[in-house]
Amino acid sequence: MSKMLVKYLTPGVTTARPIKDENDNVLFPRGHKLTEQDIQSLVERRIVLVFVDKEDLFQLRKKAQGDKEEPAAGSLQYKTPLIDDVQLLVSEDTQKAAIEAVHSVIGDMRSGKPLDSAQSQDVVDTMVLEMMANKDAMVNLIDIKTFDDYTFSHPVNVCALSILIAIEMGCSAEEIKVFGVGALLHDVGKVEIQDEILNKRGALTDEEFLEMKKHPVFSRNMLVQDKKISEQSINIAFQHHEKFNGAGYPQGLSGEQIDKFARVAAIADVYDALTSDRIYRPKMKPYEAMKIILSGNGTHFDPEVVKVFVKHMSVYPAESIVRLSSNEIAIVIKANENTLIAPVVRLIVDKNGNKVSNKEEINLSEDSRYICEALSESDLNP
């Protein structure tokens, strides 16, 4: 038996547990082979995770990949199958558990149930332990494909990035756990915003934007219901749209008036939003998103937090695809903290345009080659 995100289901996969709706009604019994229509129904009902037959799933994937026993290119962890042997900061199981926790909280809020953060607290504990033990691992964010995925996956990415920054800032494990809960639940108030506004493809009207700006207040009002959530966690949700120069919302706070961890979450929130597909625009290259973060240094964002973020992520964050001065194409594996424009990369296309299969890695800080430009995934045609 294996948990699987609905967005990666394949017709023919067998359910290992009954799939139920929010009212505990059975939609599909155990042992049911899912069809394309079944999967679409799950998507429409905003069901995110299901239990499927692991062997059945393996056989279907193996057949789809031509009997090659390799990770699927569309797996939760990877935008490409080019880095499947690299140590990752957050395990796939923990990412899935975090999505499930967010889904549970949002489901409770939508159905009018009291907020219970116990599941979120537990998964944040796991994330902190993994990340503190794997400080040199590659930052792996969940690749977002649809709006509903964004609703559940964006908080997990913001949480992971925020924890990463907090670790680099030298915060204690207990302090980081408090921080992580606030980051994971920072957007729960959006359940009070009309879908017509959240899903709008064009620009919001002034009235719609005023409504959208209420979600931090809604988040605070929801989180205070649970006595297990600390005041600092609540402040992260309430203040993550405040700007360092005082031009943010909902209170127009500035500088150190803004909670330290809310200043961290603000950067994580914007970076993940920029690098995710949205209803109204396609995702940006990590390099382009980093330039926007840097352009907000001292105005939108706390300069000290920006310094830590860029130092660890580099100007070319992990999974960036770049062209080298040698005309080779590489994928960024991890940053070099002392040389922000010279990360560690893995060659994927040689100078003649041929795919590289030996997974050669290069520390550009120790090599004569350098990055000429950032590329998009659509430019990658080995």
Q: Quick one: fold of 2-64? A: Molybdopterin biosynthesis moea protein, domain 2 (3.90.105)
Say yes or no: domain 87-313 is CATH 3.40.50.720. Answer: no
- The tens digit of pLDDT for each residue in 154-190 reads 999 999 999 999 999 999 999 999 999 999 999 999 9
245, 298 contact by CB (below 8 A): yes
Residues of the chain above pLDDT 70, percent = 85
Question: What is d(CA 37, CA 40) in angstroms, rounded to the nearest whole number?
Answer: 5
Confidence of residue 68 (pLDDT cuts 50, 70, 90): very low
DSSP letter at 141 equals P
At 297, give phi and psi (nearest 5°): -65, 120
Buried/exposed 70-96: b ≥16 CB within 10 Å, e otherwise: eebeeebbbbeebbeebebbbbbebbb
264, 179 contact by CB (below 8 A): yes
Active-site residue (options: 79, 190, 283, 334): 190
pLDDT at 75: 38
- The tens digit of pLDDT for each residue in 306-351 reads 999 988 888 888 878 899 999 999 988 888 877 888 999 988 888 9
Counting every residue, how long is the chain? 382
- The tens digit of pLDDT for each residue in 103-153 reads 889 888 888 888 899 999 999 999 999 998 887 777 777 764 444 567 888
At 38, give phi and psi (nearest 5°): -60, -45
pLDDT at 358: 77
pLDDT over 90 at 368, yes or no: yes
Going from N- to C-terminal start, the domains of the chain cover: 2-64, 87-313, 321-379
Name the average pLDDT for the chain.
Answer: 84
Residue ranges with strand state E in the chain: 2-5, 19-20, 26-28, 49-52, 321-324, 329-334, 344-349, 361-363, 371-375
Lowest mean pLDDT among 14-18, 50-54, 342-346: 50-54
Highest mean pLDDT among 37-51, 234-248, 275-289: 234-248
- The tens digit of pLDDT for each residue in 351-363 reads 988 888 777 889 9
Q: Which two tokens stand for residue 281?
A: 């625009």
Is 214 an annotated catalytic residue? no
pLDDT at 51: 77
Confidence of residue 195 (pLDDT cuts 50, 70, 90): confident
